[in-house]
Amino acid sequence: MERRGVTRRELFRYGAVWVGGVLLACRNSGPEPTAGSGWTAAGATPTVATGQTAVSSPERDAVRIGMIVARSGPFASLGENLVRGLELALDEVGFRVAGRELAVRVEDSAGNPDQALAKARQLVERDRVHLLAGVTLSSEAGALRDYVVSSGIPLVVSNAGLPGLTRDPKLRSPLVFRVSFANGQHEAPFGRYAYEKLGFRRVVLTGLDYSAGHDKVGAFGRHFVAAGGTIVGEVYAPVDTADYGPYLQRIAQYEADGVFAFYSGVDAVRFVQQYAEFGIGSRLPLFGSGDTVDESILPEQGEAALGYLSSSHYAVLYDSPENRELIRRCRERYGVVANQFVYQGYLTGRVVAEALAAVGGEIERTDRFLEALRAVRFTGPTGEFRFHPESQGAVITVFIRRVERLASGEFGNVVLDVIPGVDDLSF
């Protein structure tokens, strides 16, 4: 779709943005957003000095999507890549489905649950979005759950892995879908794999001291023990730790044959680098969740990450036509290698567009739209994508990977094995 003035890529860099592009609905009563409300229209001209844009309301018939992600703080890179993936998916349909323009507003949660809830209220009650998407952290998902249900607004979670959101019958809702994973969904099968295929017997567990850290590390540990392994110790560190020295000293005291780790964002960069500098890798090889060596941070970790074995629901080096195309488009548009967060953002936009097309763009007919979401099925970058009919969480392929230096000189996660068809009720 032809654009005037600023490109879509540039629009997404200026905070909250209305760009031509997505869907979902329910609540559409009340006045439309008006000029000066903070919506950025396609074709608006940015004011470089302030990062603000000339604003106007989106066209009345546009499908409005509110995306809440962390775009500042320790998890900012996650949020930025989720937005990139969403944009790539919507660009495939020209930011229009069934004759309706798709429009997105991105709000920064800063990884704060209270701020995420405040942004959700603003998007639903003031800006009258048809659909909410995004959500970076489990704590944010927990804060939003009751409000989403009481508001009757559909939510497509792009990242937050709060397990109960889809696994617990008391918490799950017909309004809530998740395209990523429940925390532990790819770590749980890795627990048995690490014992049976990789030969680990005595392992130290370490991770970030918040809900996702305990969920992911705990899922691996339970399945590792069930396979016959032994957990000899656990070490957790606060989010945004600068010096991991004290935690590494505790890890080094254990008699084990490996250390399973979950860290993310800037914490993963620091932990992996400092682990290598501490010099215990030859005695205690580091392996763990794929988040810890995601391609979004792997260049910063460099040689410190070499040899790291991991499990993930995505692999940049998985060879499929759809994945090659996603990687090509991501590098062409943003100048970066795709990563799991770009992939998850892409899935968010794709499932919304697929469901919207199935109902002829009538997102206001919420029951029909939710039914269409449940039935979404397509061949994506990692193979067939579908939701589990009970949990409404993604059924994933688990990739077992190892960080290696590629022929290009870059570092990458080389696929060693795959475990297909893992749903979020299986562990």
The runs of H, that is alpha helices, within 103-234 are: 113-121, 138-151, 164-167, 187-196, 211-227
Contact 105, 87 (CB under 8 A): no
Structure tokens at 390: 């009970």
Ranges of each domain in the chain: 8-181+321-394, 187-312+397-422
Contacts of 25 (CB under 8 A, 6+ apart): 63, 130, 131, 154, 363, 364, 365, 366, 369
pLDDT per position as a tens digit, 85-132: 999 999 999 999 999 999 999 999 999 999 999 999 999 999 999 999
Strand order across the beta sheet in which 96-97 lies: 96-97, 100-108, 63-69, 131-134, 155-157, 176-178
Q: Provide the pLDDT confidence category of residue 58 given band limits of 50, 70 and 90.
A: low
Q: What is the mean pLDDT of the chain?
A: 88
Domains 8-181+321-394 and 187-312+397-422 share a fold: yes
Q: Which amino acid is at 218?
A: G
CATH for the stretch 187-312+397-422:
3.40.50.2300
Q: Cα–Cα–Cα angle for 11, 13, 16, nearest 5°?
A: 75
The whole-model pTM stands at 0.85
Alpha carbon of 226 to those of 88, 182, 218, 397: distances in Å?
41, 20, 12, 22
The SS3 of residue 407 is coil
176: enclosing H helix or E strand: strand 176-178
Query: Fold for domain 8-181+321-394?
Result: Rossmann fold (3.40.50)
347: enclosing H helix or E strand: helix 340-358
pLDDT per position as a tens digit, 223-239: 999 999 999 999 999 99
